[in-house]
Amino acid sequence: NMTEEKFVLDTLSGCIEYKSLLDVIVNAFFVRDGRYCLISERNLYIVICYLATFQLEELGLRQFSKIVKSLDTAKMQKFLRFFFNDLYLNTWIKDEWSQFYDSLYVKENWIDPLLRWQPKVQQLIEQLTNKLSNCATTVKPSAVTQPKEFHLTVPKPHAIPLPLPIPGLEKRSPVPSSTYKPPKEIKQLEEIKRKNRQKAENLLLKANTDQFSCATMKSEKREVCYKIIHLLKISQEHFEPVDRLFPSSLSIKRLFIDNIPIKLNAAAILREGALYQRKMEQELKRIENLLQGAGDSSEYLAWQNQMRGRDLEEQLVEIECRRLQGKLSHEEAVLAHQNVIQENKKKADLMREEKAELMHQYAEKRLQEKKGLRELVEQIVEGHKNAKEAKIKLQKYKQQIVQEVCEENRELLQQALELKEEKLRKRYELIQQIRAIESLPSIRHKFVDLTETAGHGLICEMSIVELHERLALLREEHKAAEEEKRDQIIHEKQAKEQLLLDKLDQISLFRAELGRAAALKQEEKKRKLQSGERPMKDERILNLQKKIAERTVERKKQAGLL
């Protein structure tokens, strides 16, 4: 009903609102007295704690007792005894709640009402304790077995056996002479080591004598290298890129080998045409930028490097700060760990004192329980005397019930048989009717008119003749569409072939121009070589040659000494 729904909603909202306060009590209960309780019952203890703290004035002790007694007696007795402890309420519970709310507000609104209700709740705890003690089952002590001596026959004295003859030692074979000689394998290993060392010394001598043979260069390769270095110097002097001197990989090959015709497919033709088109666009764009007064990007690059260096310095400073912060946090963590250890020691001492007190209370409680068990045993013995008469009466009552049930079963079986006979009779009559209908003659010939519809009443209904005509029209339309698509494919193929021919013409023009430029450069180079111009060698190359010569002389001297 509405009142119960309102009570449930208020309780749920209160548990959510005061979750931090309730968690303090429940967590401490699970640590101290509820170590063996299930974690799945946590919400049960939260609700009972909320009702005892915030709703006890509105509910009253009677309603609260009903709620508690409807639950598990042992769990509620343990939790209420823990929560309504005067020492706990005045010490750590008050201190923990004061961390969330004002201490004066906590004392006036929560701690004092709980202390006021504590005597009445203590009576409820005692009732739960008595209920637990009354429900406890007594264990009947078993009779102690008294040991008896075995009646064993006295054994006859055994005859003293004759002593066995002492066996003599067998003759041992002498120690073999090979025991004191070194094995052959050690000599073989030493021989292999000596041969390997000799082979390694020969290889080292050969490597030292032919140390720089790979650094010598043939005369033909030297001339080619000089030519390439000379062309690179010319390109640097005239501020021209190397790609302008060597336009493509094809022009470099033409400097040394003849032009070999290569058969190209459609993809290669389109790819090479796009390459030449892209190069032409890039060249045009470069020329337009120069005409428009494009500047040098060196200042921007210098500024960019400067800013990157500044960013790197800032990153290094930030990394150093993080490192120092990490070190500081480590020191703080060590101090915090030490403080936690000290607090844990204090809590352990306090828990030991509480445990000793609880053990004393438990011993007193056990004495009371033993007294109650003795009284319960006496009551059970008296009850066993009257159990036989009650058992005879119960047996007679059960026999009477069995007779009544047997009579009812007979009546029900009779009714079920009558119903089954009635169903079989009706089924037999229905089968006779079906057989009579099947025995009548039926018209099996049917005349079909192909120009008429089936008469099902559908919108798309048509005759077989009309269906054949429509299928013929669809075949003609499909054939016309195929012819049209075939013509379109032929036109596209012709257009693609024409495009490839245009691209081939363009590629041949580009190749001819590049080949002509390469031939002119080759002739100009030959004229320069014939006129007696000798490419200047770089200082680094001369220095390297001098060093190589010096190393060669030194190597030869060392080889002679060796």
Establish how many alpha carbons lie within 13 A of residue 390's alpha carbon, considering only the half-sphere containing its beta carbon: 5
In which band, very low, low, confident or very high, does the pLDDT at 387 lie, cut at 50, 70 and 90? confident
* 195, pLDDT greater than 90: yes
Q: Which tops the pLDDT comparison, 554 or 307?
A: 307
**Most confidently predicted of 52-56, 79-83, 102-106, 490-494:** 490-494
Q: Which residue, among 87, 68, 88, has the nearest Cα to 129 in the 3D structure?
A: 68
Mean pLDDT for the stretch of residues 189-207: 89
| Cα separation, 101 vs 21, whole angstroms | 10
Distance, CA of 77 to CA of 33 (rounded, Å): 11
Q: Which of 97-101, 173-177, 211-215, 280-284 has the lowest mean pLDDT?
A: 211-215
54 vs 13: CA distance, rounded Å: 12
Residue 261: the pLDDT is 53
Q: How confident is the model at residue 37 (pLDDT cuts 50, 70, 90)?
A: confident
- The residue that leads in pLDDT, 472 or 237, is 472
Question: Model confidence at 334, in pLDDT bands (50, 70, 90)?
Answer: low
Q: Give Cα separations from 176 to 179, 333, 539 (angstroms).
A: 6, 73, 80
More confident residue, 43 or 558: 43
Residues 134, 372: Cα–Cα separation, whole Å: 8
Find the mean pLDDT for residues 323-331. 63
> Region 355-368: what's the mean pLDDT?
87
pLDDT at residue 176 in the model:
83
> Is the pLDDT higher at 79 or at 259?
79
Q: What is the pLDDT of residues 461-504, one digit of tens each?
A: 888 888 899 999 999 999 999 999 999 999 999 998 898 888 88
Question: What does the mean pLDDT of the chain come to?
Answer: 78
> Computed over its alpha carbons, how large is the radius of gyration of the chain?
57
Confidence of residue 445 (pLDDT cuts 50, 70, 90): low
Once rounded to an integer, what is the mean pLDDT over residues 350-369? 87
Distance (Å, whole) CA 353 – CA 348: 9
DSSP code of residue 82:
H
The answer, yes or no, to whether residue 254 has pLDDT greater than 70, is no
Contact, 515 vs 254, CB < 8 A? yes
Q: Is the pLDDT of residue 296 over 90?
A: no
Q: Answer yes or no: is pLDDT of 213 > 70.
A: no
User: Over 50: is that where the pLDDT of 434 sits?
Assistant: yes
Mean per-residue pLDDT, 407-427: 88
Check residue 323 and give its pLDDT. Answer: 66
Q: How many CB atoms lie within 10 A of CB 288?
A: 10
Q: Report whether pLDDT(270) > 70.
A: yes
pLDDT at 101 over 90: no
**pLDDT for the residue numbered 263:** 63
Indicate the range of 42-56, 129-143, 472-486 predicted with least confidence. 129-143
Percent of the chain residues topping a pLDDT of 70? 78
Cα angle vertex 400, ends 398, 405, to 5°?
A: 95
Q: What share of residues in the chain are helix, strand, coil (percent, to 5)?
A: 75, 0, 25
What pLDDT was estimated at residue 488? 93
Domain boundaries, the chain: 1-135, 311-395+506-561
* pLDDT for the residue 524: 84
Q: Lowest-pLDDT range, 97-101, 111-115, 394-398, 446-450?
A: 446-450
| pLDDT for residue 244 is more than 80 | no
